[in-house]
């Protein structure tokens, strides 16, 4: 029994220590934003890696999710004679929930894991120590541009995901199921409010990007400097960031509703 309590205590202490390290890392990251020199070139390169290289995946995923959503919802709505509401339901579910969450999970799998692996590899080959020995802060040089790039890329990719998903649902609802195109669009326009729904969507994706940027760079920086350590950190980034995104989604939705 005492052993169990001791084990539990150790787990809690480790967890709290971990949170403290993340908070300290985040604080260091934030405090290095205004510090010169500007890392704009590295930021643009990181934005290209995290954003532009994710565009195809996001568009394709968005389109297929929209198609599935169009098909499922049309069938369900037909049962209640409410198929005209397809545009509204698709729009609201995508803008409020599916867009930011699915984009967050997809970007976590593609760009977040890549950033952790890259920083982890830099650590295991002493590149980060090399930077320190040149009196260059690796946090400012390596982590900051990548974390900022993820934060900026996420809302943009979210917008792209939603547009393609709406198009996918339109394709299925209008061309395959025979719903009137005007009805679909007007339903969408009437239901989705810019301030309430689009604002919530943007806020969510911004928070998800921030969380992913923090987690991906932290895991890379704190991984064991060997191949197994990098692999563990990459997996941990995907798991931790995915759970954090889902939790944050609930928290933001709950706060927004009150």
Partner 1 sequence: MWDHGGDRLRVGGSTLESLAEASSSDAVARSSDAHSSSSVPADAFIELRDIRLAFGKRKVFDGMSCRMRKGEIHLLLGGSGTGKSTLLRMIGGLQRPDSGEVRVAGHRLSRKNERELGEIRKGIGMLFQNGALLDSMTVLENVGLPLREHLRKSWTEIATQVARVLKSVGLEGVEGLLPRELSGGMLRRVAFARAIVMEPEILLCDEPFSGLDPINVTRIEDLLVELNKKLGLTIVVTSHHMASSLRMANQMILLRRGDCIAGSPESLAASVDPEVTEFLGEDGRSYLARLHELRSGSAS
Q: Which residues are at the interface with partner 1 (CB under 8 A)?
A: 37, 122, 125-127, 129-137
- Residue 127 or 177: the one with the smaller Cβ distance to partner 1 is 127
CB of 234 to partner 1, least distance (A): 18
- Residue 70 or 138: the one with the smaller Cβ distance to partner 1 is 138
CB of 129 to partner 1, least distance (A): 5
CB of 136 to partner 1, least distance (A): 6
CB of 9 to partner 1, least distance (A): 23
Mind giving me the DSSP string for the chain? -HHHHHHHHHHHHHHHHHHHHHHHHHHHHHHTSSSSSP-HHHHHHHHHHHTGGGHHHHHHHHHHHHHHHHHHHHHHHHHTT-GGGHHHHHHHHIIIIIHHHHHHHHHIIIIIHHHHHHHHHHHHTTHHHHHHHTT--HIIIIIHHHHHHHHHHHHHHHHHHHHHHHHHHHIIIIIIT---HHHHHHHHHHH--IIIIIHHHHHHHHHHHHHHHHHHHHHHHHS-SSHHHHHHHHHHHHHHHHHHHHHHHHHHHHHHH-
CB of 131 to partner 1, least distance (A): 8
- Residue 27 or 199: the one with the smaller Cβ distance to partner 1 is 27
- Residue 27 or 130: the one with the smaller Cβ distance to partner 1 is 130
- Residue 136 or 246: the one with the smaller Cβ distance to partner 1 is 136
């Amino acid at each position: 029994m005492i052993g169990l309590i001791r084990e539990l205590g150790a787990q809690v202490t480790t967890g709290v220590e971990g949170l403290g390290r993340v908070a300290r890392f985040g604080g260091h990251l934030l405090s290095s934003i205004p510090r010169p020199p500007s890392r704009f070139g590295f930021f643009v390169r990181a934005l290209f890696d995290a954003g532009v290289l994710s565009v195809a995946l996001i568009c394709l995923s968005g389109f297929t999710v929209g198609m599935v959503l169009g098909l499922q919802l049309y069938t369900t709505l037909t049962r209640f004679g409410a198929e005209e509401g397809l545009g509204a339901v698709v729009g609201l579910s995508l803008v409020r929930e599916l867009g930011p969450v699915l984009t967050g999970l997809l970007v976590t799998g593609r760009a977040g894991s890549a950033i952790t692996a890259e920083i982890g590899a830099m650590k295991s080959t002493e590149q980060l120590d090399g930077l320190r020995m040149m009196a260059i802060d690796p946090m400012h040089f390596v982590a900051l541009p990548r974390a900022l790039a993820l934060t900026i890329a996420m809302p943009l990719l979210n917008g792209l995901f939603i547009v393609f998903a709406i198009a996918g649902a339109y394709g299925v609802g209008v061309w395959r199921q025979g719903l009137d195109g005007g009805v679909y669009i007007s339903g969408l326009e009437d239901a989705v409010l810019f301030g309430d729904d689009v604002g919530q969507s943007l806020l969510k994706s911004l928070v998800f990007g921030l969380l992913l940027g923090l987690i991906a760079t932290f895991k890379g920086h704190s991984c064991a400097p060997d191949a197994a350590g990098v692999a563990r950190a990459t997996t941990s980034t995907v798991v931790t960031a995915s759970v954090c995104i889902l939790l944050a989604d609930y928290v933001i939705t709950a706060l927004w509703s009150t």
